[in-house]
């Protein structure tokens, strides 16, 4: 494995030019804080934007800037101020951020900023391509760079690409409103592994992929023609040791070594030992629910007036995206609310809210964490929320209460905290009361469990899990059980075919010779296909069988009186040399009366599904239904049928968007073997795309050439990508 390349919008340091000299300031925010420890660990390069636009970089400082960044293992992507406006403040933060956090009303759909987003994503991709080797591992981060995976994939088809989204992925109903939804999904699908913080985000993403791109999704794998993409959840952890060590060190400091902020906090504690500090820390962002929290605090003070002068809310709101109008409005709203509440409740000796609108050094952050009795974090939506985890990590004696919004991704792993709905003021007020009264033993019990979990699943573990999973995925894609029919393998098969004296070919129809169609009757053969089949079947010493689950009427209409051999309905009927169909297998059909009404009830409740009645089987098709819903109903039907047919000699075949119920002693494998044993064949070949073809792959002798169409799990020896490749393969058999 080569080096790791991390790509995110911002680098781990932000550069500032101060009187001609360059200052590197550590970046604030979840992604930067989390990935820093991964970056410092080994051979890695971080590519991102330096925080300075081209216009802000004087020519004479350009080299110094590159050098300053190189010291931090970083390399910059150059952006003009216009590009930053369109890409970052525009599409990223006025379209994607609000949409993905369910603030639909704030989402702007501007073609210009989408164009800039595409252009800047290409710039990031170019920077990667310039720096990467094929054996490097590329890890792309977050919503600003969703098109980069596919852009890199096009230039470097074999390289390992991982993508992690740090914010929520919204439900399909929200995501579908984005005009460029398909482009965004396709951009992401350039990756080998796509990671989210929670299972819910993963689920939403897969549902959009299925519904908008119509791709085959099985569990958490997405099947493309030439690759499988894995989607998984990896809840991001923190650098636990860094926070807990810092807290320990803080608590041991002599008063004279303490920060000014700590000394002030201490003074208030000493003056009023029973008073409680409530802490809230976030970037000033509407998704974090700061204004709502202030309103809830006012509600609390009114509902529990005896806490007046006994609680203080410390709000640290870190300036963020102040170029975006929504953030300016929010700043105004928060300023006014703080003013109003302080005006309403303050006494000579007490101000209920301390409000800091700035970014603080790490040291002060620890002061706040270690001095606060309660951390109160109520985002309206939050991908994860690392502040909640950091607070717990700094509680060295395990005291302290965390009140956390259910809407934060971290709530999934922090059940021992007090979880609230940020919109329910009544519940919030009661929970603050509960937190204030909570006995220390209970606090320690809850935090003990949380600390163990956070210490174990820290940010290093998170990154390792992601990387391991990415490499495994690459490995799995490279070493499939069946091998892709490469040019070399194709030549080998062709040679075997041409040298053989008696050949037998089994060729499935739907999904193999012809693509799928919503109406099965419309997937009829084209002229080119007839020509190809005519030529193969007329070769000497060659028995070609079309083998299908279709009914004999359709195949009679499409192929007779052509002299192809045909086996239909999975092996019930056979036709040789242009003769009418006759029965190959004796099967009963009295069970149909019992099963038909069950299928009817599923058709009634599943719009778009329908029953196909074949002579000896019944098929329930759900290709035209909503994919998620269809899958759910298919699972349900499977359960119902399994118990219904327990005593009959029937089996249920789960095909491609179809479930077929038929007699157990009929399948393509059994039929193929009956034909195979009729003569002395020295070349046997079978090709098919779905589950029902697996019977052939399994039952034909080891020497047979078996080929699966598509990438799904198979017993076949080889695979090809799609129907086009099937025809190219068959053409090889012509003289
Ligand atoms: C995004 C997602 C997801 C904050 N103020 C200061 C400061 N911080 C540090 C905190 C924490 C980080 O910034 C904030 O992380 P969050 O996770 O709470 O939130 P976002 O910035 O919105 O991050 C979020 C995250 O990505 C990771 O995937 O959890 O859901 O929105 O580490 O400590 N650090 C310093 N001074 C401050 O004033 N030094």
Q: Domain total for the chain?
A: 4
Q: Which of 215, 221, 228, 227 is nearest to 202 (CA)?
A: 221
CATH number at residue 528: 3.40.50.1000
- Residue 115 shares a structural domain with residue 170: yes
- Residue 221 shares a structural domain with residue 245: no
User: Residues with Cβ < 8 Å from 97, sequence gap 6 or more?
Assistant: 143, 167, 287
Domain boundary among 193, 212, 233: 233
User: For residue 621, is it within any domain?
Assistant: yes
**382 CB near ligand 1 (under 6 Å):** yes
- Residue 32 shares a structural domain with residue 95: yes
Q: Which of 367, 178, 348 is nearest to 260 (CA)?
A: 367
Q: Reduce the DSSP state of residue 217 to 3 states and report it.
A: strand
The neighbour count for residue 392, using CB atoms within 10 Å, is: 30
pTM: 0.81
Q: Summarize pLDDT for 168-204 with one digit per residue, the tens.
A: 999 999 999 999 999 999 999 999 999 999 999 999 9
Q: What is the pLDDT of residue 183?
A: 98
Q: Summarize pLDDT for 432-474 with one digit per residue, the tens.
A: 999 999 999 999 999 999 999 999 999 988 998 999 999 998 8
**168 CB near ligand 1 (under 6 Å):** no
- Residue 544 shares a structural domain with residue 579: yes
Q: What is the pLDDT of residue 340?
A: 97
**261 CB near ligand 1 (under 6 Å):** no
Q: How far apart are alpha carbons 113 and 477 in whole angstroms?
A: 36
Domain boundary among 394, 421, 456: 456
End-to-end CA distance of the chain: 46
CATH number at residue 49: 3.40.50.2000
User: For residue 473, is it within any domain?
Assistant: no
User: For residue 463, is it within any domain?
Assistant: no
182: tokens are 């398909």
- Residue 119 shares a structural domain with residue 175: yes
- Residue 125 shares a structural domain with residue 190: yes
Q: What is the pLDDT of residue 29?
A: 67
Asked if 576 and 563 count as a contact pair (C-beta separation under 8 A), the reply is no
Domain boundary among 172, 206, 233: 233
- Residue 88 shares a structural domain with residue 191: yes
- Residue 406 shares a structural domain with residue 543: no
User: For residue 476, is it within any domain?
Assistant: no
Residues lower than pLDDT 70 in the chain: 28-30, 37, 41, 225, 478-482
Query: What separation in Å is there between the alpha carbon of 28 and the centre of ligand 1?
Result: 7
User: For residue 276, is it within any domain?
Assistant: yes
CATH number at residue 616: 3.30.70.1020
Task: List the domain range (segments joined by +) for residue 683.
Answer: 483-585+667-731
Atom of ligand 1 nearest to the CA of 382: 30
User: For residue 436, is it within any domain?
Assistant: yes
**417 CB near ligand 1 (under 6 Å):** no
User: Residues with Cβ < 8 Å from 473, sequence gap 6 or more?
Assistant: 192, 193, 228, 229, 230
Ligand 1: residue of 25, 29, 259, 284 to mutate (most ligand atoms within 8 A of CB) is 29
Inter-residue long-range contacts of 138-141, CB under 8 Å, 24+ positions, other chains counted: 138/5, 138/7, 138/162, 139/4, 139/5, 139/6, 139/7, 139/163, 139/164, 139/466, 139/467, 139/470, 140/7, 140/8, 140/164, 140/191, 141/6, 141/7, 141/8, 141/9, 141/31, 141/35, 141/166
- Residue 519 shares a structural domain with residue 376: no
DSSP 381-392: SBS--HHHHHHH
For residue 50, give the DSSP letter: -
- Residue 636 shares a structural domain with residue 691: no
Q: How far apart are alpha carbons 378 and 427 in whole angstroms?
A: 12
- Residue 550 shares a structural domain with residue 412: no
Asked if 10 and 48 count as a contact pair (C-beta separation under 8 A), the reply is yes
The answer to whether residue 682 is catalytic is no
């Amino acid at each position: 494995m080569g080096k790791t390349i991390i790509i995110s919008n911002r680098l781990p340091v932000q550069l500032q030019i101060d009187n001609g000299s360059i200052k590197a300031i550590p970046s604030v925010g979840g992604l930067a804080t989390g990935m820093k420890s991964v970056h410092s660990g080994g051979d890695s390069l971080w590519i991102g934007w330096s925080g300075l636009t081209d216009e802000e970089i004087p020519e004479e400082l350009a080299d110094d800037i590159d050098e300053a960044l190189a010291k931090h293992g970083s390399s910059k992507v150059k952006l003009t101020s216009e590009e930053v406006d369109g890409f970052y403040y525009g599409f990223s933060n006025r379209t994607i951020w609000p949409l993905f956090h369910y603030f639909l009303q704030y989402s702007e759909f501007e073609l210009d900023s989408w164009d800039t987003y595409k252009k800047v994503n290409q710039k990031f991709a170019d920077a990667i391509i310039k720096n990467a080797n094929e054996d490097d591992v590329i890890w792309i981060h977050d919503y600003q760079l969703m098109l980069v995976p596919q852009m890199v994939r096009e230039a470097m088809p074999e390289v390992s690409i991982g993508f992690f989204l740090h914010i929520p992925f919204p439900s399909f109903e929200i995501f579908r409103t984005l005009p460029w939804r398909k482009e965004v999904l396709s951009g992401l699908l350039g990756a080998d592994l796509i990671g989210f913080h929670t299972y819910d985000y993963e689920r939403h993403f897969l549902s959009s992929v299925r519904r908008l791109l119509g791709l085959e999704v099985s569990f958490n794998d997405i099947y493309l023609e030439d690759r499988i993409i894995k989607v998984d959840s990896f809840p991001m952890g923190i650098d636990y040791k860094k926070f807990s060590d810092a807290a320990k060190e803080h608590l041991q400091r002599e008063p004279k070594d303490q920060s000014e902020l700590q000394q002030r906090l201490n003074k208030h504690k000493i003056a009023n030992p029973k008073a409680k500090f409530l802490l809230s820390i976030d970037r000033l962002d509407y998704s974090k629910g700061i204004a709502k929290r202030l309103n809830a605090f006012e509600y609390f003070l009114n509902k529990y007036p005896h806490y007046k002068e006994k609680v203080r809310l410390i709000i640290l709101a870190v300036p963020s995206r102040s170029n975006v109008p929504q953030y300016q409005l929010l700043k105004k709203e928060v300023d006014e609310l703080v003013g109003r509440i302080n005006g309403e409740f303050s006494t000579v000796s007490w101000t209920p809210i301390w409000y800091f609108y700035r970014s603080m050094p790490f040291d002060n952050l620890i002061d706040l964490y270690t001095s606060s009795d309660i951390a109160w974090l109520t985002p309206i939506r939050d991908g994860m929320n690392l502040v909640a985890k950091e607070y717990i990590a700094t509680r060295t004696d395990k005291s302290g209460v965390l009140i956390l919004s259910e809407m934060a991704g971290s709530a999934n792993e922090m059940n021992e905290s007090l979880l609230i709905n940020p919109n329910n003021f009544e519940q919030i007020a009661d929970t603050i009361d509960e937190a204030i009264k909570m006995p220390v033993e209970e606090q320690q019990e809850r935090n003990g469990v949380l600390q163990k979990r956070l210490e174990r699943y820290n940010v290093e573990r998170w990154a390792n899990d992601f990387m391991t999973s990415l490499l495994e995925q690459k490995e799995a894609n490279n070493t499939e059980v069946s091998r892709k029919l490469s040019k070399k393998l194709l030549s080998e098969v062709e040679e075997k075919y041409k040298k053989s004296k008696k050949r037998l070919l089994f060729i499935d129809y739907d999904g193999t010779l012809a693509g799928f169609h919503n109406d099965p009757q419309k997937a009829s053969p084209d002229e080119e296909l007839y020509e190809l089949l005519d030529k193969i079947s007329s070769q000497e010493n060659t028995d070609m069988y079309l083998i299908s689950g279709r009914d004999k009427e359709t195949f009679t209409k499409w192929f007779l009186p052509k002299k192809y051999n045909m086996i239909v309905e999975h092996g019930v009927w056979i036709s040789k040399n242009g003769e009418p169909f006759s029965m190959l297998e004796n099967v009963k059909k009295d069970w149909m009366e019992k099963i038909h009404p069950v299928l009817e009830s599923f058709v009634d409740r599943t719009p778009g599904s329908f029953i196909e009645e074949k002579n000896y089987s019944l098929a329930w098709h759900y290709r035209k239904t909503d994919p998620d819903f269809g899958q759910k109903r298919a699972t349900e039907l499977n359960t119902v049928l399994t118990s219904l047919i327990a005593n009959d000699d029937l089996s249920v075949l789960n095909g491609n968007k179809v479930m077929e119920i038929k007699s157990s002693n009929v399948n393509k494998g059994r039929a193929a073997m009956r034909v195979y044993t009729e003569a002395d064949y020295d070349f046997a070949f079978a090709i098919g795309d779905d589950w029902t073809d697996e019977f052939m792959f399994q039952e034909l002798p080891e020497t047979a050439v078996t080929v699966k169409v598509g990438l799904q799990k198979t017993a076949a020896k080889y695979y090809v990508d799609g129907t086009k490749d099937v025809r190219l393969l068959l053409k090889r058999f012509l003289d």
